[in-house]
């Protein structure tokens, strides 16, 4: 299992903990979720939160429009700062492991993005929310799964999603599954910094659509980070992650296979595979592109837009 160096220093400044309180209602609903880039898009809204109806974009719109508030815009990291100080804490607590993983992902891209693309990496926060949240991309619920909002350049995650991956999707779970999901969302941030997602028509679906290419590239970027994870450092420039095992990688691949469009349509949708509705790629594709990133360790290998062999 992935191990964090016991004495590594965790930095919670990359997280905004908006789970507490429960106040702060009344923020206006924003742009209706346009441009949100998730790990599973809005399928879960339809399947788990949409009352089991046929699942169209209008379900999503209606759910989003029902949101009147949610987690407030105010973050309170006090508890997180107290709980998550060292790598030992990350080895003991899934929340602290998420903090450490976010530190690791951003440490990797801070060095790698300028080297591989000439573009500077800009650090961005992950918002921990509970239930529902307001974003520059509109309101969202945990049912939509973790996502990245290009409008405010923030990653949003309700950490209970990781339990859902096991209970609803049958994934094996584990810290490295959480890591894959977070690294996928930061992959979208990298795409935003590079201008890649701006080239994709929002809402376009289908097996060779820009949407699918964008999502598979985010999976590939997640694999690239995984390749380099044990070389990343804490803010004292000391190692952060000491070990990743083959079992960790297998668990990430298992999770990828359970959030492929075909798997979700077959097992959580109406049972038939509709390629024209694909937004993230098939299970096989998601596993393969994560593997491409992991085995190469090179963001340049993630050219999902330049290949006919998607």
Interface ranges with Zn ion (CB under 5 A): 37, 215, 218
Query: What CA–CA distance (Å, rounded) separates 199 from 297?
Result: 25
**Cβ(70)–Cβ(20) below 8 Å:** no
Of 243, 252, 225, nearest to 90 by C-alpha is 243
Minimum separation from the CB atom of position 244 to Zn ion (A): 22
Nearer to Zn ion, 135 or 233 (CB): 135
Nearer to Zn ion, 8 or 43 (CB): 43
Nearer to Zn ion, 201 or 272 (CB): 201
Minimum separation from the CB atom of position 145 to Zn ion (A): 9
Nearer to Zn ion, 10 or 222 (CB): 222
Nearer to Zn ion, 11 or 215 (CB): 215
Query: What CA–CA distance (Å, rounded) separates 67 from 27?
Result: 9
Tokens of 1: 């299992």
Nearer to Zn ion, 121 or 180 (CB): 180
Nearer to Zn ion, 158 or 215 (CB): 215
Minimum separation from the CB atom of position 215 to Zn ion (A): 5
Minimum separation from the CB atom of position 188 to Zn ion (A): 6
| Alpha-carbon distances, residue 73 vs 12, 16, 22, 27, 146 (angstroms) | 17, 9, 11, 9, 17
Minimum separation from the CB atom of position 155 to Zn ion (A): 10
Listed in sequence order, the residues at least 6 apart from 299 whose beta carbon sits closer than 8 Å to its beta carbon are 112, 113, 116, 117, 190, 220, 221, 224, 293
Backbone Cα Rg of the chain: 18
Handedness of CA 257, 259, 265, 266 (dihedral sign): positive
DSSP 207: T
Minimum separation from the CB atom of position 212 to Zn ion (A): 10
Nearer to Zn ion, 133 or 218 (CB): 218
Residue 104 has φ and ψ, to the nearest 5°, of -65, -45
Burial class (CB in 10 A: 0-12, 13-18, 19+), 80: buried
Minimum separation from the CB atom of position 47 to Zn ion (A): 17
Strands (E), the chain: 3-4, 15-17, 37-38, 126-128, 132-135, 138-141, 147-149, 154-157, 241-243
DSSP 198: G
Minimum separation from the CB atom of position 149 to Zn ion (A): 11
User: What SS3 class is residue 242?
Assistant: strand
Nearer to Zn ion, 215 or 287 (CB): 215
Minimum separation from the CB atom of position 292 to Zn ion (A): 16
């Amino acid at each position: 299992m992935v191990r964090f160096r016991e004495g590594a220093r965790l930095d919670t400044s990359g997280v905004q903990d908006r789970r507490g309180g429960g106040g702060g209602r009344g923020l206006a609903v924003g742009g209706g979720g346009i441009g949100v880039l998730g790990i599973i898009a809005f399928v879960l809204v339809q399947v788990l939160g949409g009352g089991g109806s046929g699942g169209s974009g209008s379900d999503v719109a209606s759910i989003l429009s029902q949101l009147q508030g949610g987690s407030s815009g105010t973050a309170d990291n006090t508890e997180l700062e107290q709980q998550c100080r060292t790598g030992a804490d990350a080895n003991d607590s899934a929340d602290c492991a998420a903090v450490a993983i976010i530190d690791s992902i951003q440490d990797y891209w801070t060095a790698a993005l300028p080297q591989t693309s000439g573009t500077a990496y800009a650090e961005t926060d992950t918002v921990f929310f509970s239930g529902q949240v307001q974003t520059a991309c509109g309101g969202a619920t945990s049912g939509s799964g973790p996502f990245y909002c290009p409008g405010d350049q923030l990653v949003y995650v309700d950490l209970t999603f990781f339990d859902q991956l096991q209970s609803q999707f049958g994934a094996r779970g584990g810290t490295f599954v959480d890591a894959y999901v977070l690294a996928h969302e930061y992959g979208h941030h990298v795409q935003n910094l590079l201008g890649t997602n701006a080239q994709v028509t929002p809402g376009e679906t289908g097996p060779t659509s820009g949407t699918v290419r964008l999502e598979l590239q985010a999976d590939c970027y997640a694999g690239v980070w995984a390749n380099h994870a044990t070389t990343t450092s804490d803010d004292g420039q000391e190692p952060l992650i000491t070990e990743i095992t083959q079992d960790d990688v297998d668990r990430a691949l298992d999770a990828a296979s359970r959030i492929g469009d075909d798997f979700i349509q077959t097992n959580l949708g109406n049972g038939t595979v509709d390629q024209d509705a694909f937004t993230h790629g098939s299970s096989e594709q998601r596993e393969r592109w994560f593997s491409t990133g992991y085995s190469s360790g090179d963001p340049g290998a993630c050219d999902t837009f330049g290949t006919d062999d998607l």
